[in-house]
Amino acid sequence: MPYHVQPASLQDAEGIRDCVDKAFANSTFSKLMFPREKAHLTPPEVFRAYMIARQRKRMDDPNAHYFKAVDPDRSNAVVGYANWYLPGHLPKKVATTSEQQPAAESMLHDVADAAPIGGANADERPACINGEAMDEFTQKMDEQREKIWSTNSNYYYLGALGVDSAYKGRGIARQLMQFGIESADKDGLPIYLEATPDGMPMYRARFGFEAVGEFEIANGQYKVVLMIRPPRARA
C-alpha cells in the first residue's frame, strides 16, 4: 500500500504530535521523561495542549523542514514524520539555559522548552515531566554536538523521525529519509543525528550511518548514540 510523503504545515501539528505518541509511547525515553508516578500531577488535557503548543512552535521555525507520511485509507492520517535541518541551521556554540533554542522534535528531542503559542503556555513545564532528566538531556545533547562539529555547521541534521508503531516495517522511514539523503549526497555533505538505542541499528544497516559517540542520562538509565552518514558519490 502506498503512503504519501509530503511537506507538513502548522495545520499538521496535532496530527504529528499524535504520531509521536504512537511511535514512542512505550519507549524507555518516554517512560523516563514522563514517569507514570507523576502523571496525576497534570490533567491529560492540559498536558496534551502543552505538547501540541510546543509542536507548533518547533514547526514554526523557518529552519525546520517537516515532512509527513499519510495513510490515504484513513483520511490522510499522519503515520510518520521527519524534520530535516539544512546546512547552517544550528548555533555555533553551546547555548546557555536562557539562550537555548527549541530542539528538533523527536522522542529524543521532544523535551525542549518553547514559547507560548495557540493558547497554551509552553513555557510553563507541566509537573508530570521529569525536569531533571529533561535538562540533563538537553545540556548533554548540545555539548556533544558542539564537541563533534565545533564551529562547522555545514552538514544536514535529522532532528526527528518517527513512525506510528502500527505502521512500522512498511518502508515509511525510508521514504521520510529520502529528502535528506538525496540532498546531502547532491551537495557532498554529511548527515548528523542523535539516535535512540532502538533506532541506531536501522540507521547503520539501512542508511550507512556510523556511530561517532554516545552519552548517558539519568545515571545510565538511557543512552543516546551520535551518528554521522558520510556523503556518497551519485551515480
Domain ranges within the chain, ordered by starting residue: 4-229
> Residue 147 pLDDT > 70, yes or no?
yes
Q: Is 172 left (phi over 0), alpha (psi -120 to 50) or beta?
A: alpha
Q: What is the mean pLDDT of residues 162-172?
A: 94
Q: What is the mean pLDDT of the chain?
A: 86
CA–CA gap between residue 134 and residue 115 (Å, rounded): 17
Q: Return the pLDDT at 101.
A: 38
CATH number attached to the domain at 4-229: 3.40.630.30
From 121-135, 142-156, 170-184, the region with the lowest mean pLDDT: 121-135
**CA pseudo-torsion sign 106, 191, 134, 60:** negative
Other beta carbons less than 10 A from residue 123's beta carbon: 13
Would you state the pLDDT for residue 110?
44
The Cα 77–Cα 208 span in angstroms is 30
Distance separating alpha carbons of residues 111 and 129, to the nearest angstrom: 9
Q: Among the residues of 121-199, which ranges form H helices?
A: 131-149, 172-187
Phi, psi at 100, each rounded to 5°: -55, 135
Q: What are phi and psi of 81, to 5 degrees?
A: -155, 155
